[in-house]
């Protein structure tokens, strides 16, 4: 029985991390207490069949694969590499507004390992989408205010400063995301809603 608890604990943790969910998020989605999730992942409790069924449905996996003795850490590790690539692809195109959306989205759709629309990949693309729209709107506002305050044609300098600061923020966020992916941190871009 201890071996079953151990494999369930390992698999539950791997599937949860594979979807980019925290223990709290999984508990909320499955309508199970956080302490139950924590005890199952520690392997200190044998959950009821109903709890296992609910967790499997929430994680979109089969109950047998959740209970299987083969570890799912390979699945988790195989998804980290494409996530790193997706994150770095956004970095290459950060200086071209909206190209930083098109190329990573194509990469995401064509990559078979990310085909399940992993929530972490969706958050990376959601950040780029929101960043692009905010930059375009901010540049328009900067242009309008610059023309209003300074006069026609003299606001290009302020637009360049605004865009440079926005690009630096994007590069910082991409680097922070890469660091978290390397450390297998599950709390990636938590302030961004998943739009994909």
Q: Under a CB-based contact definition with an 8 Å cutoff, are residues 130 and 102 in contact?
A: no
pLDDT reported for residue 76 = 47
Burial (CB < 10 A; 0-12, 13-18, 19+), residue 71, is: middle
CA gap 21, 13 in Å, rounded = 10
Residue 165: the pLDDT is: 93
Question: Is the distance from CB of 190 to CB of 25 less than 8 angstroms?
Answer: no
**What pTM was computed for the model?**
0.56
List CB contacts of 107: < 8 A, sequence separation 6 or more: 85, 86, 89
| C-beta neighbour count of 105 within 10 angstroms | 18
The span from the first CA to the last CA of the chain, in angstroms, equals 40
HEC-encoded secondary structure of the chain? CHHHHHHHHHHHHHHHHHCCCCHHHHHHHHCCCHHHHHHHHHCCCCCCHHHHHHHHHHCCCCHHHHHCCCCCHHHHHHHHHHHHHHHHHHHHCCCCCCHHHHHHHHHHHHCHHHCCCCHHHHHHHHHHHHHHHHHHHHHHHHHHHHHHHCCCCCCHHHHHHHHHHHHHHHHHHHHHHHHHHHCCCCCCCCCCCCCC
* Confidence (pLDDT) at 151: 73
Give the pLDDT of the chain (196 residues) as one tens digit per residue.
445 567 788 888 888 887 777 888 888 888 988 888 888 888 888 888 888 888 888 888 877 877 776 544 444 444 456 777 777 777 777 777 677 777 777 877 777 666 554 677 788 888 888 988 998 899 889 888 888 887 766 678 888 888 899 989 989 998 888 888 877 777 788 888 877 7
141 token code pair? 């506002």
Structural domain spans, the chain: 4-67, 82-183
Q: What is the CATH architecture of 4-67?
A: Orthogonal Bundle (1.10)
């Amino acid at each position: 029985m201890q071996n079953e608890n151990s494999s369930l604990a390992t698999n539950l943790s791997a599937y949860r991390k594979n979807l980019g969910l925290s223990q709290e998020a999984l508990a909320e989605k499955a309508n199970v207490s956080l302490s139950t999730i924590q005890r199952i992942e520690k392997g200190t409790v044998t959950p009821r069949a109903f709890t296992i069924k609910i967790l499997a449905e929430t994680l979109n996996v089969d109950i047998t694969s959740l209970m299987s003795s083969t570890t799912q850490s390979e699945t988790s590790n195989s998804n980290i590499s494409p996530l790193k690539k997706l994150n770095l692809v956004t970095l290459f195109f950060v200086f071209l507004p909206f190209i930083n959306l098109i190329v990573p989205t194509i990469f995401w759709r064509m990559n078979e390992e990310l085909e399940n629309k992993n929530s972490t990949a969706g958050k990376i693309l959601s950040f780029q989408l929101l960043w692009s729209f905010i930059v375009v709107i901010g540049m328009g506002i900067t242009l309008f205010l610059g023309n209003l305050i300074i006069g026609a044609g003299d606001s290009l300098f302020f637009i360049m400063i605004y865009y440079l600061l926005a690009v630096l923020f994007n590069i910082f966020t991409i680097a922070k995301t890469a660091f978290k992916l390397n450390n297998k941190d599950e709390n990636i871009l938590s302030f961004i809603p998943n739009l994909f």
